[in-house]
Amino acid sequence: MDDFLTLLVRAHKLLQAASDEAMSRHGVRIGQNLILEALWETDGLTPGEVASRARLPITTPTIVNTATRMEAAGLLTRRRDPNDGRLVRLYLTDRARAARQPIKEARRRLEEHATATLTDEERDHLRTALTKILQQLGAGQADSGGEHG
């Protein structure tokens, strides 16, 4: 029996590969998903804003580099902020906006497929366990906002 670390790394690897393949069919790579999600929500964010709003922690240089590839791929354009010359704002192209629903669907289906053999209870347990691990590792500053004690 493998240790927990190994199981998690293997599951992660397979899921990332499957995600990348699924999104590639829509002209988007796995590393671009965080930026897309942030800009789908709020277009015209700066790299720093994308980094801080992203669903999971990512550094600004990574955003910048990925944005450059996305620009080359025709997924977004850069525009200097007229009011503050330091800022660069990222705007999605129509192509990137059109990919929104298909990609969300594809990811939803992937998640569904991956957990297809789990019971609802097992899915709950999995969520609970991962959440506890995240909290234990210091990622407690998450979305739930219930630290009252």
- Where on the chain is the footprint of DNA (CB under 7 A)? 20, 29-32, 34, 46-49, 57-62, 64-69, 78, 84-88
Tokens representing residue 18 in the block: 């499957």
Please, what is the minimum distance in Å from the beta carbon of residue 75 to its own copies?
A: 21
Please, what is the minimum distance in Å from the beta carbon of residue 40 to its own copies?
A: 15
Which CB, 78 or 97, lies closer to DNA?
78
Residues 6+ apart with CB under 8 A from 77: 71, 90, 91, 93
DSSP calls for 43-104: TTB-HHHHHHHSSS---HHHHHHHHHHHHHTTSEEEEE-SS-TT-EEEEE-HHHHHTHHHHH
Contact flag: residue 126 with its own copies (CB under 8 A):
yes
Q: Which does 64 bind (CB under 5 to 8 A by kind): its own copies, DNA, none?
A: DNA
Please, what is the minimum distance in Å from the beta carbon of residue 80 to its own copies?
A: 32
Which CB, 11 or 80, lies closer to its own copies?
11
Which CB, 21 or 146, lies closer to DNA?
21
Q: What is the largest CA-CA distance in the chain?
A: 59
